[in-house]
Structure 1
Amino acid sequence: MHDQPWTAAPLVAFDLEGTGGQDRENEAILEVGVVPLEVGRPDMAGGYHSLVNPGRRIPRRPWISPGLTDDTLAAAPPVDVVAPQLAARLDRGYIVGHNIGVDWRLLSARCPGIRPAALIDTLKLARLVGRGTSGRSLTVLLDHYRLTEEVTRLTSGGQPHRALWDATGAALLLAALIGDLPRTTDLTVVGLRQAAEVLLDESRSYGAEQFLLF
Structure 2
Amino acid sequence: MNDQPKGVGRMWNLYKMGGVTPAIASILGSQNAQQMAFIRSINKEQRKQPMLETPLSEMEYVVFDLETTGFYAANGDEIISFGAVRMIGDRIDKEQTFYSLVNPKRRIPASITELTGITNEMAGEAPDLMQTLHDFMEFVGKRLLIAHAAGHDKQFLNAALWKTSRVSLNHRVLDTMLVGKWLEPKMESYGLDEVLAANGIPITQRHHALEDSLMTAKLWQIYLRKIKERQIVTLGDLYAYLSNY
User: Could you say whether these structures have the same fold, taking a TM-score greater than 0.5 normalized by the shorter chain as the test?
Assistant: yes
Distance 1:37 1:193, change over 3 A: farther
Alignment correspondent of 1:18 = 68
Distance 1:194 1:172, change over 3 A: farther
User: SS of the counterpart of 1:7?
Assistant: coil
Deviation at 1:122, TM superposition (A): 0.3
Deviation at 1:18, TM superposition (A): 0.4
Alignment of 1:1-214 (within 5 A): 2-22=52-72, 24-61=74-111, 65-112=115-162, 113=167, 115-148=169-202, 152=204, 159-181=205-227, 183-195=229-241
Deviation at 1:68, TM superposition (A): 1.1
Deviation per residue, 1:45-76 (Å, 9 max, x gap): 11100011111211112686241111221211
User: SS of the counterpart of 1:44?
Assistant: strand
Structure 1 regions of 5+ residues with no counterpart? 153-158, 198-214
Structure 2 regions of 5+ residues with no counterpart? 1-50
Deviation per residue, 1:64-102 (Å, 9 max, x gap): 624111122121111111011111123432110001121
Distance 1:94 1:87, change over 3 A: same
Q: CA RMSD in A?
A: 2.4
Alignment correspondent of 2:26 = none
Aligned mates of 1:176, 1:195 — CA distance in 2: 17
Aligned mates of 2:78, 2:135 — CA distance in 1: 17
Distance 1:63 1:141, change over 3 A: farther
Report which of the two structures shows the higher radius of gyration computed on alpha carbons.
2
Deviation at 1:171, TM superposition (A): 1.3
Aligned mates of 2:80, 2:213 — CA distance in 1: 15
Deviates more, 1:99-108 or 1:37-46: 37-46
Alignment correspondent of 1:208 = none
Aligned mates of 1:177, 1:131 — CA distance in 2: 13
Deviates more, 1:69-78 or 1:46-55: 69-78
Q: What amino acid maps onto 2:214 in structure 1? A: T
Q: What amino acid maps onto 2:111 in structure 1? A: R
Aligned-residue identity in percent: 24
Distance 1:73 1:37, change over 3 A: same
User: SS of the counterpart of 1:148?
Assistant: coil
Deviation at 1:133, TM superposition (A): 3.6
Are 1:18 and 1:64, in contact at CA under 8 Å, matched by a contact in 2? Answer: no
Deviation at 1:2, TM superposition (A): 3.9
What TM-score do the two structures reach when normalised by structure 2? 0.68
Distance 1:32 1:64, change over 3 A: farther
Are 2:102 and 2:132, in contact at CA under 8 Å, matched by a contact in 1? Answer: yes
Aligned mates of 2:102, 2:120 — CA distance in 1: 11
